[in-house]
Amino acid sequence: MIRKKESKGSSTNKRVLIELLASSECSYCAPAADVVYRVASQYDNIEVAIVNIDSPEGISIAKKHGIMSIPAIIINGKTAFIGIPPADIILHDAIKKAM
């Protein structure tokens, strides 16, 4: 698992964890990671975790959330997207709801 903290924006809101279930063999996962990191970089209270779907942790998370395909984005323990968010603003909205 890779964790990255970004530091920009307001820190008055609660901490947000974004987990991206992905695989190195998935052609959509790298673009999904780009979107997640780009949006997360605008906040200082977001932790991003890229979780390999083939790892024991990834398998456990996928089972827990009923995820059958990747990439999948989970925000604070709730499945937010399967696939790539169609626009950054949609991911921003999901993050703001989690704060």
* Domain positions in the chain: 2-98
Q: What are phi and psi of 35, to 5 degrees?
A: -65, -45
Domain 2-98: assigned CATH number: 3.40.30.10
Rounded CA-CA distance 16/30 in Å is 21
69-97 pLDDT, tens digit per residue, is: 999 999 999 999 999 999 999 999 999 99
30-56 pLDDT, tens digit per residue, is: 999 999 999 999 998 999 999 999 999
- Residue with token string 């993050």: 95
Q: What is the pTM of this model?
A: 0.83
- Residue with token string 């059958």: 68
| Contact yes or no for 29/20 (Cβ under 8 A) | yes
For 20, the token pair is: 């991206």
